[in-house]
Amino acid sequence: MPPVRLRRPDSQCEAQASEAVEGRPTHPLAVARAYTLDSICRREYSGHVVGIVVTDEFRAWYEGLEASDQDAVRRVVNLLEHRGVGLGEPYSSSIVGAKHALRELRIQSRGRPLRIFYAFDRRRQAVLLIAGNKAGDDRFYGVFVPKAERLWEEYRAETGQKWRGSS
């Protein structure tokens, strides 16, 4: 089993972890679960960090954002990096009707809904394909999903990744 690495522990979590290791549990769950770090501060550590890969299209969009929007995007991408496939609602959801297993990151920045389309490759890397501002665009998914699917297919071809059902 790999060593447990704490990620950005707050002082309360850190104190609970050290007390549990010393055999003095302070958290009610620590008593019931034999003082494991899992039971004390499950949110605060991660054994898996996924790699993040970006397309040229995503990079161009990101670089064109204002600094506050870049900060909002960076926060949610960091969540994806640390939680990987376990990142769910409200930050991530699947794209219903896509021909590949595409997902979207959901970001609110200054009241605007920003969306990033992504997928996980065979190496369990999150590939950020394309993104945009969904506000007031009734055709957003109709336009962006086909672009994301095309970029995903190009990425797979460029990296030589074979998938079930592909030749």
| Extents of the domains making up the chain | 11-44, 52-159
Model confidence at 24, pLDDT cuts 50, 70, 90, reads: very low
Percentage of the chain modeled with pLDDT above 70: 68
pLDDT at position 14 over 90:
no
Distances (CA, A) of 142 to 29, 96, 97, 134: 47, 12, 11, 11
Among 8, 86, 70, 69, residue whose Cα is nearest residue 41: 8
Angle (CA) 156 144 49, round 5°: 50
What's the whole-number average pLDDT of the chain? 75
Q: Exposed, middle or buried: residue 167 (CB in 10 Å: 0-12, 13-18, 19+)?
A: exposed
Q: 19 or 100: whose pLDDT is higher?
A: 100
Structure tokens that stand for 20 in this block: 């549990």
Model confidence at 104, pLDDT cuts 50, 70, 90, reads: very high
Report which secondary-structure segment, H or E, holds 94.
strand 92-94
Whether omega before 90 lies within 30 degrees of 0, making that bond cis, reads: yes
| pLDDT score at 101 | 85
Full DSSP string of 45-88: B-S----EEE-HHHHHHHHTS-HHHHHHHHHHHHHHHHHGGG--
pLDDT at position 82 over 80:
yes
Quick one: CATH architecture of 52-159? 2-Layer Sandwich (3.30)
For residues 121 and 102, what is the distance between their CA atoms, to the nearest angstrom? Answer: 11
Q: How confident is the model over 58-67, as pLDDT tens digits?
A: 999 999 999 9
Q: How confident is the model over 113-140, as pLDDT tens digits?
A: 999 999 998 888 999 999 999 998 889 9
Model confidence at 163, pLDDT cuts 50, 70, 90, reads: low
| pLDDT score at 85 | 86
160: left (phi over 0), alpha (psi -120 to 50) or beta: left
